[in-house]
Amino acid sequence: MNRRLKSILQKTDLYHPLQTSYRAGRTWLTNQLYKLTYRPHKGPGLTCNFCGAEYKKFVPEVPGPDIAPAIQGNNVIAGYGQNVYCPRCLSKNRERLIKAVIEKYLPLAPAARILHFSPEKNLYRWLKHHASITTVDTAPRFYTRIDPTIRYADATRLPFNNHSFDLVIANHILEHIPEDQMAMHEIHRVLAPEGIAILQVPYSPTLPATLEDPEIDDPGRQAALYGQQDHVRIYAFADYLRRLAKAGFNVHVLNPEDLAEFRIYATQPTESVFLCYQH
């Protein structure tokens, strides 16, 4: 959609409803296509831990030629791979990983209070049956089909009291936020004293320093540098841990070896999980 048309639609309050309907329709058609084309691949091999479907392989997602140099050239762990989407329910590898980690490492009490940023459909629907969940985003109208009660929230100025949540999930959120250190501090503030935040981001295990330039405000350059038009950095692994610690978190990293048992769920084999404790 060109910028002028987008601006006109936003002024008439039609942009979000039209975009949401378009995305929903496209997702439905994509899902039907995958169900049909992956029918020959049904059978033992990989299992979706949301819908229970079994396939010998899942749907791949690889970076396009415009962003591949940023992703592959910097060895970014960003969710791309050969087994990303479940052909049946379209759950993504990073959703399935979070579910598996919560089930094994973070069993939810019935009264648990969860804050879920930019909620993924399958993960949100599973969580809402196990705890009290609040969802937020800076563009909440894009998510009303997932959670009609989603509310607006700026991660750098969260509208919640101290210690409001037992678990916070921000799955690939911080790389979008210029003032990420403020967002980390805010997440730490709203966590209960025994609370845990799962704060996943694209990161590079080989970059010597986080790749970012606050002066860049151009979607094309951001895509070329960081691998996505609305990303503002690629985190270096060690620097990401340092930033989390600076915000007050005690970080426990589940490395790929710790997570190997979850590969049956078609998770990304090289991804680590960042469990960030309030203290």
One-letter amino acid for residue 81 of the chain: G
Look at residues 239, 212, 242 and name the one whose alpha carbon lies nearest to residue 227.
212
Per-residue pLDDT tens, the chain, 279 aa: give them.
Answer: 556 655 555 556 666 677 777 777 888 899 999 999 999 999 999 999 999 999 999 999 999 999 999 999 999 999 999 999 999 999 999 999 999 999 999 999 989 999 999 999 999 999 999 999 999 999 999 999 999 999 999 999 999 999 999 999 999 999 999 999 999 999 999 999 999 999 999 999 999 999 999 999 999 999 999 999 999 999 999 999 999 999 999 999 999 999 999 999 999 999 999 999 998
Are 158 and 191 a contacting pair, CB within 8 Å? no
CA distances from 50 to 24, 79, 217 (A): 20, 18, 38
Compute the distance between CA of residue 220 and CA of residue 223 in angstroms, rounded to an integer: 5
Q: Which domains does the chain show, CATH number per domain?
A: 91-277 (3.40.50.150)
CA 49 centroid distance within chain: 17
Residues of 107-119 as b/e, b for ≥16 C-beta within 10 angstroms? ebeeebbbbbbbb
